[in-house]
Amino acid sequence: MTIPNGHPLSSIRALELSEIWAGPFCGCLLGDMGAEVIKIESIQRIGRGPINPPPNSGGYPDDDPGKDPWNRQSNFNATNRNKRSLTLDLKTPEGLNSFADLVSQSDIVFCNYARTVMGNFGLSYEEVRKIKPDIIYMLMPGYGNDGPYADYRSMGMAIDAITGHSFLRGYPDTDLSSNSLVHHPDAVAATNGLLALTSALVYRAKTGKGQFIDMSQAESFMTHLGEIYIENQMLDTPRKRRGNRHPDFAPQGVYKCRGEDNWIAISIKTDEDWSRFKAIVEDNYLSSQHFETLSGRQQGHNHIDEIINKWTYGQDRYEVLNSLQKAEIPSGVVLDCGADSYADPHLNERDIFQVVDHPAAGLHPMTGPIFKFNSAEGQVIHNPAPCLGQDNMYILKEVLGYGENKINLLEANEIIGTVPLTGSDMGGSRRIANKN
């Protein structure tokens, strides 16, 4: 694993205890900024998918789980770049002692498990700060660290619902049962978590004091809906679902282009946009005086959409995009997060994808860091996600100074390891053992 000089957090070490998306992506962003992020895992319970998935399972390269699927799981590998992996059994004194040793040489500890998990390990903020008084410590459960929902379990779609976002999504003529699942709150919590952690680093640099950060994923996401809460207060009525329509822009929508499932999004924001747009489309119907105002275009939106679809249908979506952008019309081609995106000229020019050679998953293009720092001469860091426990020796020996005998004893007692135990993907190996 290499971390070039020049990245702003290159002197920072962070300990991550998290899974799924919110915590792992926060760790990704820290790693993108140069921090050494050590992901604390265990062979007793893993968050890398099933350990014995059936052949031809989705979510793996070429739908092949392989002999070590925990190292090939696509979701995990996509959200854990630029990290090291250390396995520790934190339910044992030996594991806790090693974690404490590592805390003493670290700057940040953060966790997106349920609120009670760290306390149950004996690793609450109060206990961890006894080891490192200036530690920056962040817990990011779904609903924060106090209040009636503090111990409620959560996932992205549940947070999306409780914040009010699910109520807004969809079309006016459909009910909420037609909504797709959305995990967007995870990504928002990750970026807000990064902001909180880096702000705490600045505070520590000024004062020498650490920080406890209470990071509610739900409250983090609600800030994205601020104007909707204000609108409700002013109008005393909830906003209705709009689909692709907007009260201030018309026409607005997604329109079919030439080829199979090719689309372009177009938004006309002003009367001036409309004037330039209708000159490009060259359809006499659009020249009606009735459409010179926003209200007139909104009244005729359905028929305008039919004309736009007729115009875009015979054209390549990039041809439409280029002609609209030359006229400064807000527009964008719809990409499919696959071959479309890999072929997009803008994304390629900006190197958003890097070809990553993962020791277990192979060679694949993957979305990479979103920051390019002048201090690092624009060079991005994109080390592949770590295999389970791949950095045990480096961390225990090089960072903590443990001797080989001590490390071998930790391995013999299954405090560390690189292969998950039976049942580790089913709530934990101890739970399975107790059932037997």
Q: Which CATH number fits the domain that encloses residue 431?
A: 3.40.50.10540
pLDDT tens digits for range 374-398? 888 878 889 999 999 999 999 999 9
- Give the residue-averaged pLDDT of 353-367: 93
Confidence of residue 295 (pLDDT cuts 50, 70, 90): very high
Residue 134 sits in which domain range? Answer: 13-224+351-435
Q: Is the pLDDT of residue 1 over 80?
A: no
Higher pLDDT, 252 or 338: 252
- Give the residue-averaged pLDDT of 93-115: 96
Residue 337 and residue 359 in one domain: no
CA 303 to mean position of chain CA atoms = 39
Q: Which of 311, 342, 373 is the last residue of a domain?
A: 342
Higher pLDDT, 95 or 376: 95
Residue 366 and residue 332 in one domain: no
- Give the residue-averaged pLDDT of 220-248: 88
Residue 276 and residue 392 in one domain: no
pLDDT of 184 reads: 86
Side-chain-side CA neighbours of 236 within 13 Å: the count stands at 0
Confidence of residue 313 (pLDDT cuts 50, 70, 90): very high
Residue 30 and residue 153 in one domain: yes
pLDDT of 3 reads: 63
Q: Is the pLDDT of residue 436 over 70?
A: no
Tokens representing 133 are 């008084």
Higher pLDDT, 99 or 173: 99
pLDDT of 4 reads: 64
pLDDT of 155 reads: 85
Q: What are phi and psi of 263, to 5 degrees?
A: -140, 160
Confidence of residue 231 (pLDDT cuts 50, 70, 90): confident
Tokens representing 235 are 């109008």
Q: Which CATH number fits the domain that encloses residue 282?
A: 3.30.1540.10
Q: Is the pLDDT of residue 98 over 90?
A: yes
Residue 207 and residue 105 in one domain: yes
Q: Which of 319, 342, 365 is the last residue of a domain?
A: 342
Residue 325 and residue 362 in one domain: no
pLDDT of 169 reads: 87
Helix/strand/coil for 356: strand
How far is 28 from 20, CA to CA, in rounded Å?
12
Tokens representing 314 are 């015979």
In-domain check, residue 237? no
In-domain check, residue 2? no
Count up the domains in the chain and report the number.
2
Residue 141 and residue 271 in one domain: no
pLDDT tens digits for range 139-197? 999 899 999 988 888 888 888 888 888 888 888 888 888 888 888 889 999 999 999 99
CB 274, CB 297: distance < 8 Å: yes
Q: Which residues contact 180 (CB under 8 A, 6 or more apart)?
A: none
